[in-house]
């Protein structure tokens, strides 16, 4: 079984204890599919005050994360990995990086060992980005205080794809897995305050249910994320369903 290891480097290790000890992230670790270790970058600071930030050269607001503790922390983790014969992939969480999407998560879930650096303050010394990092990843076009929440988002998204963590069937049907948004889901009761579950889902006819779900998945994608349809080659079956949806939308 492939065991994925994620080492997270942060100056706020305490932020991870809650999210990593609940739900899927906990289950992934318990199942043995995922090993997570959180390291305090401060432990690698060189001075007695354990300084991890300093003023920016050239002036300006805020502080910048110093290179030495981050380089030392990454080198420490890499050395342990080298002894196991593994070459980790070093990621910097960064609003200027490639935007995280499901395709990127799928690629990362195939790696054996990931090191995630969480920035803070005004960001990190440019030499970390240039000489230490393999890939910069953003979780969206907005600025957070630090890379800890983005690292948790990334870890969660990777963890749920690892074999045995959740059923493969449920991950395969989720939004973005095949390039479309997921169909609507219902559970009991069948009739809640007069709001009814679509009849077809109660029919027991698996083929009809499959077709309805495919069509609703396409409808959702067309209504909410038409860009996802533009970037794909659609099967003749999907094209026929889309035509039906367009006719329905025009009242035909």
Ligand X SMILES: C[S@@+](CC[C@H](N)C(=O)[O-])C[C@H]1O[C@@H](n2cnc3c(N)ncnc32)[C@H](O)[C@@H]1O
Q: Which residue's CB is nearer to ligand X, number 155 or number 217?
A: 155
> Residue 151 Cβ, how far from ligand X at the closest point, in Å?
8
Q: Is 114 in the site for ligand X (CB under 6 A)?
A: no
> Residue 148 Cβ, how far from ligand X at the closest point, in Å?
8
Task: Taking the CA atoms of 147, 148, 151 and 152 in sequence, report the sign of the dihedral they define.
Answer: negative
Site track 150-179 with ligand X (rule: CB under 6 A), x = hit: x-----------------------------
Please give the Cα distance from 3 to 5 (Å, whole number).
Answer: 6
Beta-bridge mates of residue 124: 65
> Residue 3 Cβ, how far from ligand X at the closest point, in Å?
26
> Residue 145 Cβ, how far from ligand X at the closest point, in Å?
6
**DSSP secondary structure letter of residue 125:** -
Asked if residues 154 and 116 have their Cβ atoms less than 8 Å apart, the reply is yes
Q: Which residue's CB is nearer to ligand X, number 12 or number 201?
A: 12
Q: Name the residue number minimizing CB distance to ligand X.
A: 119
- Binding to ligand X (CB under 6 A) within 54-113 occurs at 93-96
- Binding to ligand X (CB under 6 A) within 116-145 occurs at 118-120, 122-124, 138-140, 142-145
Q: Give the residue from 91, 177, 179 showing the smallest Cα distance to 138.
A: 91
Q: Give the residue from 159, 224, 218 showing the smallest Cα distance to 29.
A: 159
Q: Give the residue from 45, 39, 52, 31 showing the smallest Cα distance to 6.
A: 39
Q: Which residue's CB is nearer to ligand X, number 129 or number 215?
A: 129
> Residue 123 Cβ, how far from ligand X at the closest point, in Å?
4
Please give the Cα distance from 176 to 157 (Å, whole number).
Answer: 12
Binding-site size, ligand X (CB under 6 A): 20
Beta-bridge mates of residue 116: 8, 91
Asked if residues 68 and 46 have their Cβ atoms less than 8 Å apart, the reply is yes
Question: Contact residues for ligand X (CB under 6 A)?
Answer: 93-96, 118-120, 122-124, 138-140, 142-147, 150
């Amino acid at each position: 079984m492939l065991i994925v290891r994620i080492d997270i480097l942060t100056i706020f290790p305490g932020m991870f204890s809650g999210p990593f000890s609940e739900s899927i992230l906990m289950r992934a670790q318990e199942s043995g599919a995922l090993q997570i270790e959180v390291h305090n970058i401060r432990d690698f600071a060189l001075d007695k005050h354990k300084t991890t930030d300093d003023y920016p050269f050239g002036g300006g607001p805020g502080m910048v994360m110093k290179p030495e503790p981050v380089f030392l922390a990454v080198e420490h983790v890499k050395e342990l990995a080298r002894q196991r014969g593994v070459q980790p992939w070093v990621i910097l969480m960064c609003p200027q990086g490639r935007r995280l999407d499901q395709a990127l998560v799928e690629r990362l879930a195939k790696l054996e060992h990931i090191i995630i650096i969480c920035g803070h303050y005004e960001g990190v010394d440019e030499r970390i980005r240039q000489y230490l990092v393999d890939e910069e990843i953003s979780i969206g076009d907005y600025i957070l205080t630090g890379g800890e929440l983005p690292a948790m988002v990334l870890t969660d998204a990777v963890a749920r794809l690892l074999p045995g963590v959740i059923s493969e069937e449920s991950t395969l049907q989720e939004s973005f897995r095949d390039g479309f948004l997921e169909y609507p889901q219902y559970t009991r009761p069948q009739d809640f305050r007069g709001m009814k579950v679509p009849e077809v889902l109660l029919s027991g006819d698996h083929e009809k249910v499959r077709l309805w779900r495919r069509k609703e998945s396409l409808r959702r994608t067309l209504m909410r994320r038409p860009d996802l349809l533009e970037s794909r080659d659609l099967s003749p079956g999907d094209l026929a369903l889309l035509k039906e949806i367009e006719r329905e939308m025009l009242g035909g």
